Every structure is written in C-alpha cells, then in structure tokens.
A = this chain, B = another copy of it.
Amino acid sequence: MKKYAVGFDLGGTTCKVGFFETSGKLLEKWEVPTDKRDNGEHIIPNLAENIKSYLGGKKISTDEIEGAGIGVPGAVTPDGYVNRCVNLGWNDKRALGEQMTALCGFPVKVGNDANVAAMGEYFMGAGKDSQSMVMVTLGTGIGGGIVVDNKLIVGFNGAGGEIGHIHVDDDETETCGCGNKGCIEQYASATGIVRIAHRMLLGESIDSPLRAMEHISAKDVFDQAKAGDELANKIADEVGKRLGKMLAIVANVVNPEIFILGGGVSKAGHILIEKIRPSFEEYTFHACKDTRIMLATLGNDAGIYGGVGLVLS
C-alpha cells in the first residue's frame, strides 16, 4: 500500500478535495469551484490540474499515491460509467474513472455521491469496524448507501441504495418528485417534513409556536419538539413512524449491522432515533429488532473520506 490517497466529492457548486494518508488520516482539505460551462467539459480537467499542482507544490510524486475516489451526483454503473449528471451539465454516458485516471496519473474510482458518503462513514465514521451498514442521507431528498463486507451495493443500474423511493404509505394522494405516491422521501426529507408539518398544522387544532412562523423548516420542527411542544412532537412522530417502517423494510432485505443517519435532517440528533425506534421494531423481522441506529459523524466530510474508502475497498 502506498502512502497517500485522494478523495473528491463533486457537487454542482464546488468539488471538495481531501488529501489523506492511506491509514485514513485526513492531512488537508480544500474546495475547487465547479465550472459548469460548455456542458461541464472543464470540470474534470480542472480537478486533475488542481491535484497535480497541489502534489507538485508538496514535491509528492504521483507514484506515492495509491489512488483516488470520486463521488458524483448521479447514477454510476458497476463498471464505473456515469450516466448523465444534470447538476454538472453532463448529458452523456462517460467512462469517468478512465478519463480521470489518464489525466491524474494514478487510478481513480467512481461512485454515486450518496454511496461514496456511505463508504466514508463505513470506513472512518460511525460505521467503522462494522460488518455491514446502511446509510440514510436525509437532505432535501433522501439518498442512501449500502456497504456489506467492505463493498458497496451499487446495483445493476446504479440504483442500489435508492431507498428514498421506498413505498411506505398506501393512502398518500400527493405525488413524489419521482412520479410515484407514498415514497419515504415525501415524509422524512427536509422538504417532506415541512410538508407533513403544514398538513398537520391544518388538520390539528392544538396551538404551537410553529403557527407563528412564516417559513417552517425541518429544523424548526425538531427544535420545537425538543423544547416540548406537543404539535411539533406529533409531527416528528409521524415522520419517525414512516422512517422506522422504511428502515424495518430495508433490514428485512439486507439485515445490516447498523443504520447510520446523515444529511441535514440528522442534525436534529438523538430525538430522531427516539422517534424512529418504536416503528422500526414494530415492522421489522424479529431477528433484526436489535439493529443499532446511529448518527453519522463525518458531516460534510463523509464524501472525501468515502472517496478514499473506494480506493481501500
């Protein structure tokens, strides 16, 4: 094993870059603006230039780099092809790993960003030393990543871990962004929580500080719930009930050692787990009832850690 590895976490605004020892120790991190002009053609050459320039400044040869991993906001097939990334301006299918490897001078592996973040938590975050793990990223939408025995379950069409679109409610009348009805994303993403809050503010007559707010956020709901507000707790219960059911279903499929909750919504903290646990235990198979549910620990750095995780897996 060589001494260094690199993790890239490519987003629509910037690409986070982390320079690591292969032990998993983060030495330095920075960001490179994502230049989306010309259908995003400059993004990859810019990244390769940036890391080569960094290594040059440090007098580190590319021979000392074990490799790099990059997370991208789109579907990645098991053979490393990226199939469109609308956020980056890429409309074609491209062999991103091959292209970056050629430009960087060391091997580069590619993964979907939610999957790569899961890899980060698995190798160096809350999932460290676990045999298998499912990460649930609760952001504007819901993403996921599944790691079993050091390997991501990427899926035949790159849709492994697309757990945000698991059906959890037969009575939903509104449509999810994906076109289906009753997906967990409609209840437990940041936008989903706000949707449920508005629905319950209309349907319930209880008073609540939430009623005085012009724009309610998911954070407001959990802050008020923690402060003891009855209606905020009812909203959080509804969210937790659906999320617990979804985790229960996922446990019946892959039976992971642990679940890890990440993304902005997970900043609510342990109250989220308290709201999930009863419904998780109600719906899951008896052998899975003790599965641990934990909070992510790497925050926004999960992606760069996961890039290095790809190298080491």
Contact = CB atoms under 8 A, between A and B. Distances in A.
A288 B250 contact: no
The main secondary structure of chain A at its interface with chain B is loop
A131 B169 CA distance: 31
Nearest to A133: B156
Interface string A265-305: 00000000000000000110111100100000000000000
B148 A153 contact: yes
Interface string A152-172: 011111111111011101110
A257 B156 contact: yes
Contacts of A282: 180
A151 B291 CA distance: 22
Per assembly, the copies of the chain total 2
A159 B149 CA distance: 15
Contacts of A254: 146, 153, 155, 160, 253-254
A283 to B, nearest CB: 5
Contacts of A291: 156
Contacts of A283: 167, 180
Contacts of A165: 252, 285
Interface of A: 75, 78, 131-132, 146, 148-149, 151, 153-163, 165-167, 169-171, 178-180, 245, 248-257, 282-283, 285-288, 291
